[in-house]
Amino acid sequence: MRRVSEPLPPSPLREFWRTWVLGALLPVYLLTTFVGTLARVDGESMEPNLHGRELLLLLKYPRWLHTWGLTGEYLQRGDVVIFKAPADSPYAFETLYGVRHRPYNIKRVIGLPGDVIAFRDGELWRNGVKVAESYASAEGYVNDEGPLTVPPGKLWVMGDNRRTGSSLDSRSYGPVDLRDVAGPVNWRLWPDPAPLARRS
């Protein structure tokens, strides 16, 4: 007969919860939510710099530091970012349950809030200055457009692949909301680990 003063042995369920959920799953959740995670390229909109099935490192902590007021603007022109597609974009679709699904896209930041964007003779002009886009595909065609001003809280994004029909971006669905940006992508992890070209 067990004496009253003896502690009860830990239950297997409590040990499982403490060891696996709190000890392993919680740190992984915090890491992938607030620090960074992996992302895979799907499609050809970012060629020649990124190709389908490549594995990238998505950094989330810059966005959280900015959200918490610990840093200033964390995105710059030329950054490659992953964001949730706008609800009216061709990428979004209705699920079987009537919910509007907005998949994540990867594009390059072309314009920040307040920037004036224009395309003339297939070339990008930003704030009245022609931009030499060293990251863009050598071949392609961009219709004349603008000038247009990027609204507050928005970004103008485009794919690096400028061949006609190869990238659905802000030219088709307009500026994207800064709140929908998951974070910048600075590194390709596989198959050829390397930093991404970020500036023109």
Instruction: Work out the angle at residue 132's Cα, subtended by the Cα atoms of residues 128 and 138, and round it to the nearest 5 degrees.
Output: 135
Residue 7 lies in a domain: no
Sign of CA dihedral 140, 145, 148, 150: negative
Confidence of residue 6 (pLDDT cuts 50, 70, 90): low
| 107 is an active site residue | yes
Residue scoring higher pLDDT (90 or 105): 105
Q: Is residue 172 part of a domain?
A: yes
Residue 109 has a pLDDT of 95
Closest CA to 185 of 196, 199, 175: 196
For residues 89-94, average pLDDT: 73
- Residue 6 within any structural domain of the chain: no
Residue 89 lies in a domain: yes
What is the number of structural domains in the chain? 1
| Position 43 in a domain | yes
Query: Would you state the pLDDT for residue 175?
Result: 94
Interstrand relation of 36-40 and 93-94 (parallel, antiparallel or unpaired): unpaired
The CATH number of whichever domain residue 96 belongs to comes to 2.10.109.10
Q: What are phi and psi of 114, to 5 degrees?
A: 95, -15
Question: Is there a domain that residue 4 lies in?
Answer: no
User: 92: pLDDT confidence band, cut at 50, 70 and 90?
Assistant: confident
In a domain? residue 198: no
Is 5's pLDDT higher than 70? Answer: no
| Catalytic one of 45, 89, 137, 170 | 45
Coil, strand, or helix at residue 145? strand
Residue 111 has pLDDT above 90, yes or no: yes
Q: Is residue 103 part of a domain?
A: yes
Q: Which range of residues forms the domain containing residue 45?
A: 12-192
Highest mean pLDDT, choosing among 13-27, 66-80, 83-97, 107-121: 107-121
Active-site residue, from 60, 84, 107, 154: 107
pLDDT digits (tens, 9 = 90+) for 135-194: 888 776 677 787 999 999 999 999 999 887 788 889 888 999 998 998 888 888 888 888
Residues 6+ apart with CB under 8 A from 135: 49, 78, 108, 160, 197, 200
Residue 158, SS3 per DSSP = strand
195 — pLDDT class (breaks 50, 70, 90): confident
pLDDT computed for residue 48 by the predictor: 87
Indicate if 60 belongs to the active site: no
Q: What are 15-73's pLDDT values in tens digits?
A: 666 666 666 677 677 676 777 788 888 888 998 888 889 999 888 877 767 666 666 67
